[in-house]
Structure 1
C-alpha cells in the first residue's frame, strides 16, 4: 500500500538521521533504580524530582481513594464528573500556590491548550519564548491569534513586539523552568512588561512546582502577585501522580470553566488521583528535607562532572543537561551508559535545536551521593575511550 510505504520511507529517514524513537518498557515503579526492558538500571531519566511517585503515603492514598471513589471519573466535570475529591484538591492547590482559585486538567498539555485558546483568538496576539515547550507552541497556533516568538529570554525583543502590537488582547506565554536546558525565566521582568502593555502572563511551571519557592513553585520563588498572572502546574512530576492544574484570579477560572474546550469536553480525571495529590501536597509541606537533598545532589553532580569534554549547561534546577552535540554522538554516550547499567536518555532534534543533542540528567531527592559518583565515573570512562 502506497500510504504505508510513504510512512516506512519517512521512518527510514529518521533512522538515517539518528532521530527514530521507540518507547522503552518500564517493568518497575519509578525510582532511582528501575527495571527497563528486563534489565536493572540506575536511572536519571524521570521527572519524579522529590521521589514521591512510589512513596508509601501516596500508594496508601491511591488505595483509599479507589475504595472511596472507584476508578473512573465517568463524565465531564460539568456534567456529573466533578467529585468532592476534585473540589478539595482545587482548593488545596489554590491555597498552596497562594493564588485565589484553581482548576484541574488531565495533563499539562491539555491545560496549556485550554488556557491559551480560551483567552486569545483571532485578532489577538500571543508572545512566546522561542524555547517554549511544544504544548505551548501548539496552543498558540490553535488559538488563531497572531503568534509572535522572541529569542530565548530576550526581553528587549519582547518589548519591541509588544509595543508594535495593536491587538486588543495580548498574552505572554513562557515556561518557568525550561525542560531541556534547566534554566529559569525572568518572571519578574516578564510581569513588568505584561503590566506595562496590559497583557496576560501565562507561566507553565511544570518543572518548578514542588521544587522552587519552598515547593510552591516559580511564582512564589519570584515573589510575584498580579491579577494578570496565570500559573500552570503539572501533578505528574514533583507531585508524583498525574494531571495538571491552572491557578489564577477567580474570574479567570470561572471563564475557563465556561469557555475552555479541553476542560468542557473531557471526562474528568480519576477522583482517586485527585485524592492522592492531596497526600503529595502534605509531603511537600512537611518534608522540606527532600528539596534540601535535591539541592545537595545538584551540587555534587556539578562537582563530579567538572573537567569532562562535554559541557554541563548552567542550571539551578534538577534538570542538568550535558551537551554532546551530534545526534549519533549523544546516542553513543547514552548507549555506553546503558552498557554500564545507567539509564540517561539522549535528547535530539526536534526536541532541541540541531547540533545541541544532549544527555538530560534528571535528578531526584531519592538519588544517593554514591549514585552521582557512579554516573560521573562512567562518563569519565566514556570520555577516555
Structure 2
C-alpha cells in the first residue's frame, strides 16, 4: 500500500485553522505567578575578562556555591582543558557503553579515599546522584523517612521510589525514631541533608545515625553543602561526626560547589557501587559526566587535600560577614537573611546587583511562604574588604525594603 503524505501547501497551512491550543492555560498561570512575585528568569553573568579576573567582571559574587573559589583557579582550569584535549568535549554515551574514561575511575577512587569510604560512583549531577541512590535503595515495599528540610533532589528521589514516605520536621530525631518504630515495611531508609542549603544550618547527623542503627535502617546523608566546608580537611559533617565509612551509611555530595566544577557522587560500600551501576536509572540511562568537568573537579580535590586549612578560612570569612551584616553566625558558608515578602526580596536583590553585588534571592517554593530571603554564600577567595562592602550594601538593601 502506497503511503500518502500531505502536500507542502497542506503542511504549511495556518496552524490555528479550526484548532484550539491546549497550552493556552499557561498564559494565566504565568500571569498569576508574576502577580505573586514568584516569576523567575535566568540572569546572565557578565564576563569581559578571563575567568578569575573579578576586576573585569565587575561583580562580587556571593550568590553561587563556589565556596572555595576553585571554579576559576588556574590549575583547575588547566586540568579541565587538559582533560578536554585528551578525551574530547563529551563522554558521548552512558557510562555503561563508552562513556567511562580512566579519568572517571581515577576521580572516583580519589573521592572514596578522601571521604573515607570503600567506593564512590560519579553521576553527571548531584540531582541525579540523589535520585539514583534513593530509587535504587528503596521501592514500593519499603519505608523512607525524609527530613523536612531535604533538598528537592532528595524529595524527588523519594517520590520516584514509590516507597511509603513519612516526612518529619527538620532535624527532629525523635520524630524519625517514632516513624521507624511503627513501620512494618521490608526495609527503611532515612534521608537528610547534612547542611541545609537554605540557611546553612547543620542537621544532627550523629543522632540520626544512632536512630537509624537502632531500627535497622540505612541513613543517606547529602553532603553537597558540607564538602570543603565542614569536617577535617573539608571532608564533611559525616567525617566531623566520626562516621566516615560507617556501616549502613550512604553519602552523596557534589563536585559543583566547593570543587567548582560539576557532577554528583554517591559514596559508601563497594557493594553499594555495584548495586547502583545495576539499578540506578539516572546512572544507567544518562550520558556520563563530560571529561573536562571530571579533570577540573579532580584537580580541585587535590588542591583541597593539599590545603586542609582552606575550609577553616572559609568559615572564618563567613563568620566575619555574618557579624558585619548583623546576622546569625553561620555553621557553613551560607548566611540567610529573611525579608518575608517575595517582591521585597526581589527588590533587595536588584538593589544589590545594581551596586555590583550578586546575592541569592530565594522565594517559594524554594522556601516556605512568608520567608523569602536573600541568601549570601561566602567564598574563601573574597577579601575582608569585599566582605565588608557586601555587608554594607546588603544591610542598606534590607533597610530600603523594610526588612530591618
TM-score range, shorter chain: over 0.9
Query: What displacement does 1:356 show?
Result: 0.6
Which structure 1 segments of 5+ residues have no match?
307-311
Alpha-carbon distance in structure 2 between the residues aligned to 1:25 and 1:146: 41
Map 1:285-300; keep pairs closer than 5 Å.
285-300=305-320
211, 218, 233: which one pairs with 1:200?
218
Compute the TM-score of the two structures, normalised by the length of structure 1: 0.94
Q: Does 1:361 align with 2:376?
A: yes
| Higher alpha-carbon Rg | 2
Which residue number in structure 1 is paired with residue 44 of structure 2?
Answer: 25
Map 1:33-182; keep pairs closer than 5 Å.
33=54, 40-182=58-200
Verify the 8 A CA contact 2:229 2:315 in the aligned structure 1. no
Backbone CA RMSD of aligned residues: 1.7
Verify the 8 A CA contact 2:339 2:398 in the aligned structure 1. no
Verify the 8 A CA contact 2:80 2:291 in the aligned structure 1. no
Verify the 8 A CA contact 1:32 1:42 in the aligned structure 2. no
Compute the TM-score of the two structures, normalised by the length of structure 2: 0.89
Q: Does 1:249 align with 2:269?
A: yes
Verify the 8 A CA contact 1:163 1:197 in the aligned structure 2. yes
Which residue number in structure 2 is paired with residue 215 of structure 1?
Answer: 234
Q: Does 1:347 align with 2:362?
A: yes
Q: 1:384 to 1:163 in 2, by over 3 A?
A: closer
Verify the 8 A CA contact 1:324 1:359 in the aligned structure 2. yes
Which residue number in structure 1 is paired with residue 32 of structure 2?
Answer: 13
Which residue number in structure 2 is paired with residue 309 of structure 1?
Answer: none
Verify the 8 A CA contact 1:113 1:262 in the aligned structure 2. yes
Which structure 2 segments of 5+ residues have no match?
1-19
Alpha-carbon distance in structure 2 between the residues aligned to 1:114 and 1:383: 40
Verify the 8 A CA contact 1:318 1:363 in the aligned structure 2. yes
Q: How many residues are matched?
A: 377
Alpha-carbon distance in structure 1 between the residues aligned to 2:197 and 2:265: 18
- Classify the secondary structure of the residue corresponding to 2:96: helix
Alpha-carbon distance in structure 2 between the residues aligned to 1:85 and 1:25: 31
Q: Does 1:3 align with 2:22?
A: yes
Query: What displacement does 1:293 show?
Result: 2.6
- Deviation per residue, 1:118-144 (Å, 9 max, x gap): 111012110101111111101101100
293, 297, 305: which one pairs with 1:277?
297
Alpha-carbon distance in structure 2 between the residues aligned to 1:186 and 1:165: 22
